[in-house]
């Protein structure tokens, strides 16, 4: 009997734990005799379009195990939306040629939309394709699920980083730096900025100020707050979301801020705030921009996050084998303390293109910090350490041996 193959791919911004989801899909598929090979798309859905399929069945088990420890997306990711019916048609042709009947797409909101569209198309054309979405996004903005794999690890990294930097600034404040600004990701929602608030475990602890995309920036209120904090604690630490906006809804990092300090900035909101503080409060500052470091920091992932990444991948395969179609497994929280959760699933049509915003009740009334209920939500997500193996003093991230299946079709020109 010839069995059916599965396609798995990674989509959108990658995380420190997405490869652990890939590992779960590969290992779980291997336990079900109805599934043949797991063929991974090189660079997400592009791998399907370009017939660039990585044969995971020939990869040594040790390399599959290493996926638990490897940040980034070993198969490559993409930012690509299916552009036309022609794209969908091509994917079905590639899948038919390689006997692929299961489609697993590991990504955020846009990616779940792709999964949903492909499910609809395959039904229209009568090709039997089981389509399952698997959540992943550091932005934590997918609906229904308690959290998204990748986010908890970013939260742990961000809260750790501001706690560490704050001890440094506090040491220097007598004669040098008084204000430290750390810029984090989250262009459209403040989940990551909020997570830094977990470091504030006692009065006066960092971060002293959190700036959210959800709260329009007010220069005067902000500067008054900074001044108050410096007077009170001798130093001030600030976490700012890259998505901080003016009251006009414009990104502060893109605003023409020539009024404020006479010249334009090349991206990055942290240096803009730094110069504002220098100009108006005459305080010495330092600033950092975390960028990709926050989402690739496998060396300090959350054990809870890592576990959930695996469970979702595993459940995705199980759902497919139960005959479910167009669904995405989600995490359901049943208790904060102790954190209890299980996996359920929702239809993709309820997920696609919906963003879960940071609720108002999670932001303190003055707009500069998180509330206790936000902490209660976030705290379980960063629990536990899961260190990678080290070799010669550095995390031992091995390259994944990607061998492509021989193409059977003509090349496809992307539009």
Cβ proximity to a copy of itself, 35 vs 297, nearer residue: 297
Query: Nearest distance from residue 412's CB to a copy of itself, in Å?
Result: 15
Query: Nearest distance from residue 80's CB to a copy of itself, in Å?
Result: 6
Interface region with a copy of itself, contact rule CB under 8 A, candidates 73-81, 113-121, 320-328, 355-363: 73-81
Interface region with a copy of itself, contact rule CB under 8 A, candidates 55-63, 90-98, 99-107, 162-170: 162-170
Using rule CB under 8 A, residue 178 touches a copy of itself: no
- Contact call for residues 185 and 225 (beta carbons, < 8 A): no
Interface with a copy of itself in residues 37-56 (CB under 8 A): 42-44, 46
Residue position matching structure tokens 């990104």: 251
Interface with a copy of itself in residues 75-104 (CB under 8 A): 76-80
184 by Cβ neighbours in 10 Å (0-12 / 13-18 / 19+) ranks as buried
φ, ψ (nearest 5 deg) of residue 10: -105, 140
Q: Which of 32, 49, 31, 33 is nearest to 41 (CA)?
A: 49
Q: Where are the beta strands (DSSP E) in 11-73?
A: 35-41, 53-55
Q: Which tokens belong to 241?
A: 């979301």
Residue position matching structure tokens 């630490």: 237
Q: Which of 74, 144, 84 is nearest to 109 (CA)?
A: 144
Query: Nearest distance from residue 266's CB to a copy of itself, in Å?
Result: 4
Of residues 136, 163, 208, 307, which one binds a copy of itself by CB under 8 A?
Answer: 163
Cα dihedral value 134, 139, 142, 143, nearest 10 = 150
Q: How many beta carbons lie within 10 A of that of residue 353, not counting itself? A: 11
Interface with a copy of itself in residues 99-138 (CB under 8 A): none
Instruction: Report d(CA 180, CA 178) in Å as an integer.
Output: 7
Query: Nearest distance from residue 405's CB to a copy of itself, in Å?
Result: 18
- Which residue in 32, 55, 87, 139 is the catalytic one? 139
Using rule CB under 8 A, residue 140 touches a copy of itself: no
Query: Nearest distance from residue 39's CB to a copy of itself, in Å?
Result: 17
For residue 133, the cross-strand partners are 105
How many residues touch a copy of itself under the rule CB under 8 A: the total is 83
Cβ proximity to a copy of itself, 264 vs 340, nearer residue: 264
Cβ proximity to a copy of itself, 5 vs 153, nearer residue: 153
Q: Which of 190, 170, 189, 186 is nearest to 178 (CA)?
A: 170
Instruction: Report d(CA 28, CA 104) in Å as an integer.
Output: 13
Interface with a copy of itself in residues 191-220 (CB under 8 A): 198-199, 201-202
Query: Nearest distance from residue 173's CB to a copy of itself, in Å?
Result: 8
Cβ proximity to a copy of itself, 127 vs 235, nearer residue: 235
Q: Where are the beta strands (DSSP E) in 166-314?
A: 179-184, 209-211, 236-241, 285-289
DSSP alpha helix (H) spans, 141-195? 151-172, 191-195
Interface with a copy of itself in residues 249-308 (CB under 8 A): 261, 263-268, 270-272, 274-275, 286-293, 295-300, 302
Please indicate whether residue 201 is annotated as part of the active site: no
Q: Which tokens belong to 300?
A: 């300090």
Query: Nearest distance from residue 239's CB to a copy of itself, in Å?
Result: 12
Cβ proximity to a copy of itself, 286 vs 324, nearer residue: 286
Cβ proximity to a copy of itself, 59 vs 182, nearer residue: 182
Interface with a copy of itself in residues 301-360 (CB under 8 A): 302
Instruction: Report d(CA 207, CA 172) in Å as an integer.
Output: 16
Using rule CB under 8 A, residue 385 touches a copy of itself: yes
Cα dihedral value 253, 255, 256, 261, nearest 10 = -50
Using rule CB under 8 A, residue 241 touches a copy of itself: no
Interface with a copy of itself in residues 13-32 (CB under 8 A): 13-14, 16
Catalytic residue IDs: 139
């Amino acid at each position: 009997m010839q069995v059916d193959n599965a396609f798995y791919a990674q989509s959108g911004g990658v995380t420190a734990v997405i490869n652990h989801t890939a590992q779960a899909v590969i290992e779980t598929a291997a336990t079900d005799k109805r599934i043949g090979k797991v063929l991974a798309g090189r660079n997400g859905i592009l791998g399907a379009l370009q017939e660039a399929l990585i044969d995971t069945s020939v990869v040594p088990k040790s390399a599959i195990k290493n996926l638990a420890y490897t940040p980034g997306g070993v198969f490559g990711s993409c930012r690509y939306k299916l552009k036309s019916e022609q794209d969908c048609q091509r994917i079905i042709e590639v899948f038919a040629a390689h006997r692929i009947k299961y489609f697993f797409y590991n990504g955020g909101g846009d990616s779940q939309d792709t999964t949903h569209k492909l499910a609809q198309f395959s039904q229209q054309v009568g090709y039997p394709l089981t389509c399952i979405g698997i959540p992943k996004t550091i932005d934590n903005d997918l609906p229904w699920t308690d959290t998204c794999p990748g986010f908890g690890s970013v939260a742990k990294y961000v809260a750790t980083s501001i706690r560490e930097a704050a001890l440094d600034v506090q040491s220097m404040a007598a004669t040098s730096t008084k204000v430290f600004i750390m810029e984090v990701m989250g262009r459209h929602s403040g989940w990551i900025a909020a997570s830094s608030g977990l470091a504030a475990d006692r009065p006066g602890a960092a971060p002293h100020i959190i700036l959210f995309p959800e709260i329009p920036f007010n220069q005067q209120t902000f500067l008054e707050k900074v001044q108050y904090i410096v007077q009170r604690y001798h130093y001030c630490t600030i976490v700012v979301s890259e998505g901080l906006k003016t009251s006009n809804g414009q990104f502060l990092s893109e605003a023409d801020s020539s009024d404020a300090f006479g010249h334009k900035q090349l991206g990055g909101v942290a240096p803009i705030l730094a110069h504002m503080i220098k100009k108006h409060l005459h305080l010495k500052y330092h600033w950092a921009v975390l960028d990709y470091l926050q989402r690739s920091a496998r060396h300090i992932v959350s054990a809870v996050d890592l576990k959930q990444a695996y469970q979702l991948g595993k459940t995705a395969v199980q759902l497919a084998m139960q005959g479910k179609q167009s669904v995405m497994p989600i995490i359901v929280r049943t208790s904060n303390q102790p954190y209890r959760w299980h996996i359920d699933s929702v239809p993709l049509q309820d997920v696609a293109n919906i963003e879960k915003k940071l609720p108002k009740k999670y932001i303190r009334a003055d707009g500069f910090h998180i509330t206790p209920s936000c902490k209660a939500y976030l705290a379980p997500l960063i629990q536990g350490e899961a260190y990678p193996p080290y070799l010669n003093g550095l995390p031992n991230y091995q390259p994944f041996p990607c061998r492509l299946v021989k193409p059977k079709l003509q090349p496809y020109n992307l539009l």
